[in-house]
Amino acid sequence: MPTPTIGFIYPDHAAEDDYPRAEALLDAHLPVAHIYGTDLHAVPELLDLGSPGKLRDGAARLAVHRPDAIVWACTSGSFVYGPDGAREQVRALSEVAGVPAASTSFAFVRAAQALNLRRVAVAASYPADVAGLFADFLADAGITVVGFASAGIETAAEVGTLDAGQVLALARANDHPEAEALLIPDTAMHTLEVLPRLEATLGKPVLTANQVTIWEGLRLAGVTRIVPSLGALFAERPAYVGH
């Protein structure tokens, strides 16, 4: 089939270089359009960041690429709306873009379902009040959070400066023995390069924001890629069983 094109709406600048890194591995075109707002991890600012007007602007910037699917590449700017609000956010984005759409929050849920994960630990970069909303979002989808940690980092820019060693330390410190996988939200965090080391260190699947966002975009376009260096999610052909 022709090379798929998946468009990503990415907030501000932090770890968007994860996308060209993945593009080189996946035989896919992954254009990124930036929208702008404050990068503060606080509820009012995140509601503004994921607002319909901003996402319409992102979709318009991606239109030149004629994407097969489009993803709002932001975890906190989607789950902060709650499950129903996040569903409406994606519905409106799909309507504007004219192609299937999703967000990173739903990408986490669908990736967990694809790997048949029911109990997870969460190592979040956000302040505790924001991180708690992600745990609530997962719980609404029937995913039990058995371990939960918040690093309390207030801005996406600061998250983007974390190096591989710091990401590994965050994962190692916040895994849980009962968790079938560790989830690390925040598309501002560089994780693709360190994924093999994360999974080798913990001995279990690790789902990270940019990883699941890219996987979900491919899934929406009806494309499967087997690239083990991108983690367990890309190492097999999981059958997505959600809705």
pLDDT band at 43 (very low <50, low <70, confident <90, very high): confident
Q: Is the predicted pLDDT of residue 66 greater than 80, yes or no?
A: yes
Q: Is the predicted pLDDT of residue 164 greater than 60, yes or no?
A: yes
**Cβ-based neighbour number of residue 169 at 10 Å:** 12
pLDDT band at 237 (very low <50, low <70, confident <90, very high): low
- Identify the residue with better confidence: 241 or 64: 64
According to the model, what pLDDT value does residue 241 have? 41
- 3-state secondary structure string across 4-69: CEEEEEEECCCCCCHHHHHHHHHCCECCEEEECCCCECCHHHHHHHCCHHHHHHHHHHHHHHCCCE
Domains of the chain: 6-107+210-234 (3.40.50.12500), 115-208 (3.40.50.12500)
